[in-house]
Amino acid sequence: MSKVIAELVIRGSQDIFKQASDFLDKAIKEKGPAQKIGFPETAFYLPAANALLGAKVETLKDVLPILEHAKSLLPDIPSEKVWLPYLGDALNAGMSTLFCEEIIVALRYLYGQEPQKDCNGFFTDNILRSLGIQLVDGRMSGFAAILGAAPDNKTAVEIIRQLQERNILIFVGSQSEGRSIIDQLLEENIQMGWDNYIVPYGRDTISAVYALNWAIRAALTFGGVKPGEAQKCLMYMKERVLAFALALGKVDEIKCATAAAAINMGFPVIADTDIPEIKASGITTYEALVKELNYKNIVPRCIEVRGIKVKVSSVPIPVAYAAAFEGERVRREQLYVEFGGKASAAFEYLTTLESNAVEDGKFELIGPDIDQLEKGKRSMPLAIIAEVAGRKMQKDFEPILERQIHRFVNYAMGIMHVGQRDMNWIRISNDTFNKGFRLKHLGVILHAMLHQEYSAIVDKVQVKLYTRQEDVDKMVATAQKAYGERDERLSGMNDESVDTFYSCLLCQSFAPNHVCIVTPERLGLCGAYSWLDAKASYEITPTGPNQPIIKGGITDDRLGQWKNINEFIYNKSNKTVEKVSMYSLMDAPQSSCGCFECIAAVIPEANGVMIVHRDHSGMTPSGMTFTTLAGSVGGGVQTPGFLGIGKLYIVSRKFISAEGGLKRVVWMPKELKDILADKLKKRAEELGESGLIDKIADETIATTAEELVSFLAKVNHPALTMEPLI
Partner 1 sequence: MDNLKQQDKRQTIDLATQEMLQKAKKENIKTAWDRLQAQEPQCGFGQLGLCCTVCNMGPCRIDPFGEEAQVGVCGANADTIAARNLARKVAVGSSAHSDHGRDVAHTLSLTSESHAHAPGGHAHQHYTILDAEKLKSVAREFTIDTNKTKEQIAKELSKKLLEEFGRQEGELVFTKRAPKKRQDIWKKLNITPRGIDREVVELLHTTTMGVDNDYKNIINNSMRCALSDGWGGSMVATEVQDIILGSPQPIRGKVNLGVLKENYVNIVVHGHEPILSEMAVRASKDPELLKLAKSLGAEGINLAGICCTANEVLMRHGIPVAGNFLQQELAIITGAVEVMLVDVQCIMPSLQEIASCFHSKLITTNSKARFPGVIHVEFNPENAYEVAKQIIRVGVENFANRNKERVNIPKQEMDLVAGFTKENTFHILGGKYRATYRPLNDAIISGRIRGLAGVVGCNNPKQTHDYFHTALVKELIKNDVLVLQTGCSAIACAKQGLLIPEAAKIYAGKGLQEICEAVGIPPVLHLGSCVDNSRILTAASHIIEEGGLGKDLSDLPAAGCAPEWMSEKAIAIGFYFVASGVYTIFGASPFSTLGSKNLTDYLTNGLEESVGGRFEFCDDPLKMAELMIRHIDKKRKALNLSPLIYQ
**Of residues 306 and 572, the one with the C-beta less far from partner 1:** 306
Could you tell me which stretch among 83-91, 215-223, 520-528, 584-592 binds partner 1 (CB under 8 A)?
83-91
Q: Is 569 in the site for partner 1 (CB under 8 A)?
A: no
- 380 with 337: CB under 8 angstroms? yes
Q: Is 89 in the site for partner 1 (CB under 8 A)?
A: yes
Instruction: Give the distance from CA 91 to its chain's centroid.
Output: 30
**Of residues 94 and 227, the one with the C-beta less far from partner 1:** 94
Q: Which whole-number Å values give the CA distances from 436 to 319, 430, 433, 581, 621, in the listed order?
A: 8, 10, 5, 55, 54
Segment 280 to 309, residues that bind partner 1, using CB under 8 A? 280-283, 288
Q: Is 32 in the site for partner 1 (CB under 8 A)?
A: no
Could you tell me which stretch among 90-98, 191-199, 397-405, 652-660 binds partner 1 (CB under 8 A)?
90-98
Residues in contact with partner 1, counted by CB under 8 A, come to a total of 33
Beta strands, E only, 625-689: 642-645, 665-667
- 529 with 503: CB under 8 angstroms? no
DSSP assignment letter at 662: G
**Of residues 84 and 550, the one with the C-beta less far from partner 1:** 84
d(C-alpha 15, C-alpha 525), whole Å: 45
Q: Which SS3 state, helix, strand or coil, does residue 479 take?
A: helix
- 425 with 346: CB under 8 angstroms? yes
User: How far apart are CB 217 and partner 1 at their closest, in Å?
Assistant: 17
Element (H, E) at 295: helix 295-306
Which residue type occupies 614? Answer: R
d(C-alpha 536, C-alpha 398), whole Å: 10
Note the residue count of the chain. Answer: 726
Q: Is 259 in the site for partner 1 (CB under 8 A)?
A: no
Q: Is 3 in the site for partner 1 (CB under 8 A)?
A: yes
Q: Is 230 in the site for partner 1 (CB under 8 A)?
A: yes
User: How far apart are CB 284 and partner 1 at their closest, in Å?
Assistant: 9
Q: Which whole-number Å values give the CA distances from 294 to 172, 248, 271, 392, 650, in the listed order?
A: 20, 12, 10, 47, 53
In the list 28, 64, 77, 87, the residue contacting partner 1 (rule: CB under 8 A) is 87
Could you tell me which stretch among 82-90, 470-478, 615-623, 696-704 binds partner 1 (CB under 8 A)?
82-90
Residues facing residue 351 across a β-bridge: 387
Which residue type occupies 426? Answer: I
Q: Which whole-number Å values give the CA distances from 61 to 20, 24, 31, 105, 111, in the listed order?
A: 14, 9, 11, 16, 16
User: How far apart are CB 66 and partner 1 at their closest, in Å?
Assistant: 14
Three-state SS for 149-214 is CCCCHHHHHHHHHHHHHCCEEEEEECCECCECHHHHHHHCCCCCEHHHCEEEEECCCHHHHHHHHH
User: How far apart are CB 139 and partner 1 at their closest, in Å?
Assistant: 30
In the list 43, 46, 73, 198, the residue contacting partner 1 (rule: CB under 8 A) is 73
User: How far apart are CB 301 and partner 1 at their closest, in Å?
Assistant: 17
**Of residues 220 and 283, the one with the C-beta less far from partner 1:** 283
Q: Is 541 in the site for partner 1 (CB under 8 A)?
A: no
DSSP assignment letter at 15: H
In the list 38, 94, 443, 660, the residue contacting partner 1 (rule: CB under 8 A) is 94
In the list 43, 57, 66, 91, the residue contacting partner 1 (rule: CB under 8 A) is 91
Segment 262 to 281, residues that bind partner 1, using CB under 8 A? 264, 276, 278-281
User: How far apart are CB 55 and partner 1 at their closest, in Å?
Assistant: 15
In the list 32, 54, 65, 85, the residue contacting partner 1 (rule: CB under 8 A) is 85
Could you tell me which stretch among 143-151, 230-238, 454-462, 530-538 binds partner 1 (CB under 8 A)?
230-238
List residues near partner 1 by CB under 8 A: 1-3, 6, 52, 73, 78, 81-92, 94-95, 230-231, 234, 264, 276, 278-283, 288
